[in-house]
Chains A and B, each alone.
Chain A
Amino acid sequence: MDPSTIVVVGAGQAGCQAAASLRERRYGGRLVLVGAESHLPYQRPPLSKGHVTGQVQRDTLWLHPASFYQHQDIELYLAETVDEIDRDGRRVRLGSGETLPYDHLVLALGARNRPLTVAGAELDGVVALRTLDEADSLRERLAAATNVVIVGGGFIGMEIAATAAKLGRAATVIEVADRLMGRVLSTQTSKFLLGAHRSRGLNIGLGTSVSRIEGRDGVVSAVHTSDGRQLPADLVIVGIGAVPNVELAAAAGLKVDNGIVVDEYLRTEDPDISAVGDCVSCPSRFAGGLPVRLESVQNATGQPRSLAVRLAGGEPAPYDAVPWFWSDQADLKLQIAGLIAGHGSTALRGSLEGERFSVFCFDEGGALIGVESVNSPSDHMVARRLIQSGVPVTREQILDPELDLRALALGKVGKPSTATH
């Protein structure tokens, strides 16, 4: 069970976690971590927030110090790609031409930004954000910008828009759907955030898209929208979602369907290849057993930790952590536990006006499947525990202001109360 060489492809949060967790689990063989970027593995979440404002120092972004990789005997190949997997020969060919043999291969290939394909998208000043280099460039551009247009009202778009506004820039968000973060949030929370961001000075256009981008001398000057507006812009930031990096796996004949297909043990159909993080589609009991592909720090750390147990010769267990997410937008701390797709009823606790509340989402059968919290970290922690454990909790209980949620999650409250309120 203890393969003699494990190669991890991708040195983002998931790949780095895979390597670190393998050593933590006392995997004693050769361990190689291959990353396409030239930097030490780093955290991405601050890139759209504190890194851009300068609040976060660059050297606090590294997931581990350089010495960590030496001490842990992790061979770090940076600024290096894997171009091909030879499954029969169990080796990978690197961009440099070198080949690396493996006994087990871990694919942590991540995702890449979905490109904007309208005319003018190639102009100078039209940028996206994923990497540290892009974040460095964005920081400089934001410092010099006057009118910023953000294409896409998702997590990244709203985080950057809030950051731009904080820096005193005139910021406008263009979202094609009829609400913000519609893919991941309930209508109620989505509506709240729209009002909260508008009241903080963001211009937000819903139900509209970019028809073309206008430039002068190769530099962006305006954004034209599908509803006929022309927005002056000297910086356009595109955040319209991500697509999983599956090409390497697909070329090797591995099954791909909105991500590299793995089972709940994170195995591909090749017993010598596993995959983790943003690039995988993995069945989840929190999605009714359906495969889901998640882009989050929690998924990118939870999956590799689970995988490392199996690869280091431990008792394999299915990956079974409740998904959770966070997004800091201006002074709004948004935290989500569980997956709310297909939810039916909701229940609100807290105060929308006070900007401190949680929306509890239930499925058609009345089971709690997800909770969105704004400035309510305790609710979020409670929710994670409730959803993970499956402790039954009813909508009526949630609506009862007398109910001590914390006590319920900590097992200090008995069965669901049948009291009527």
Chain B
Amino acid sequence: MKVTYVRPGHEDEIVEVEDGTTVMQAAVSNGITEIVAECGGTLACATCHVYVSEDDLDRVGEIGPDEEEMLDFTASPREDGSRLSCQIAMSAELDGLVVRVPPEQY
């Protein structure tokens, strides 16, 4: 399955991701450094912020309570599609997901 990362100042990056891998981890493993993920995915830092495209919002699932709180403190403004990418695990239903990477993470 694939995830597309829309990166400011770069070409879009389309990454092949295994089932269960988070959108954060796939970014880090593929050198998409705008996903900082300082805490390694433990919901401690809010530096793996992404904007999920409107079309995909329904299928990425609910925002968890801790994630909800953290999202108010991202370095780039929170928008409707804001998510922490460490909380989105890939599955067949998410194939073709498009996320936009914000300009600032810290």
Residues of chain A whose beta carbon lies under 8 Å from any beta carbon of chain B: 20, 24, 43, 45-46, 59-60, 62-65, 67-68, 71, 297-298, 301, 305, 326, 328, 333, 335, 377-378, 380-382, 384-385, 406, 409-410
Contact A333–B33 (Cβ < 8 Å)? no
Contact B66–A298 (Cβ < 8 Å)? no
Contact A68–B69 (Cβ < 8 Å)? no
Residues of chain B whose beta carbon lies under 8 Å from any beta carbon of chain A: 25, 28-31, 33, 38-40, 42-46, 66, 69-70, 72-73, 106
Contact A45–B33 (Cβ < 8 Å)? no
Contact A377–B69 (Cβ < 8 Å)? yes
Question: Once the chains are docked, how many angstroms separate the CA of A410 from the CA of B69?
Answer: 12
Question: Once the chains are docked, how many angstroms separate the CA of A136 from the CA of B66?
Answer: 31
Given contacts A297-B39, A298-B38, contact A410 B33 (CB under 8 A): no
Contact B28–A385 (Cβ < 8 Å)? no
Chain B: CB-nearest residue to A44: B40
Contacts of A381 in B (CB 8 A): 46, 69-70, 72-73
Given contacts A326-B39, A378-B69, A378-B70, contact A71 B31 (CB under 8 A): yes
B67 to chain A, nearest CB (A): 9
Contact A385–B39 (Cβ < 8 Å)? no
Secondary structure class of chain B's binding surface, majority of residues: loop
Contact A410–B72 (Cβ < 8 Å)? yes
Which of A24, A43, A68, A298 sits near B40, CB closer than 8 Å? A43
Contact A326–B44 (Cβ < 8 Å)? yes
Question: Once the chains are docked, how many angstroms separate the CA of A68 from the CA of B30?
Answer: 8
Contact A335–B31 (Cβ < 8 Å)? no
Contact B70–A297 (Cβ < 8 Å)? no
B16 to chain A, nearest CB (A): 13
Contact A377–B28 (Cβ < 8 Å)? no
Contacts of A24 in B (CB 8 A): 33
Contact B66–A45 (Cβ < 8 Å)? no
Contact B40–A46 (Cβ < 8 Å)? yes
Q: List 10 A-B contacts (CB under 8 A).
A: A64-B33, A65-B31, A297-B38, A298-B38, A326-B45, A328-B42, A377-B44, A381-B69, A381-B73, A406-B72
Chain A: CB-nearest residue to B46: A381
Given contacts A24-B33, A60-B29, A65-B31, contact A377 B40 (CB under 8 A): no
Contacts of B72 in A (CB 8 A): 378, 381, 406, 410
Question: Once the chains are docked, how many angstroms separate the CA of A46 from the CA of B41?
Answer: 10
Given contacts A377-B69, A378-B72, A381-B70, contact A326 B42 (CB under 8 A): yes
Given contacts A377-B66, A381-B69, A381-B72, contact A59 B38 (CB under 8 A): no
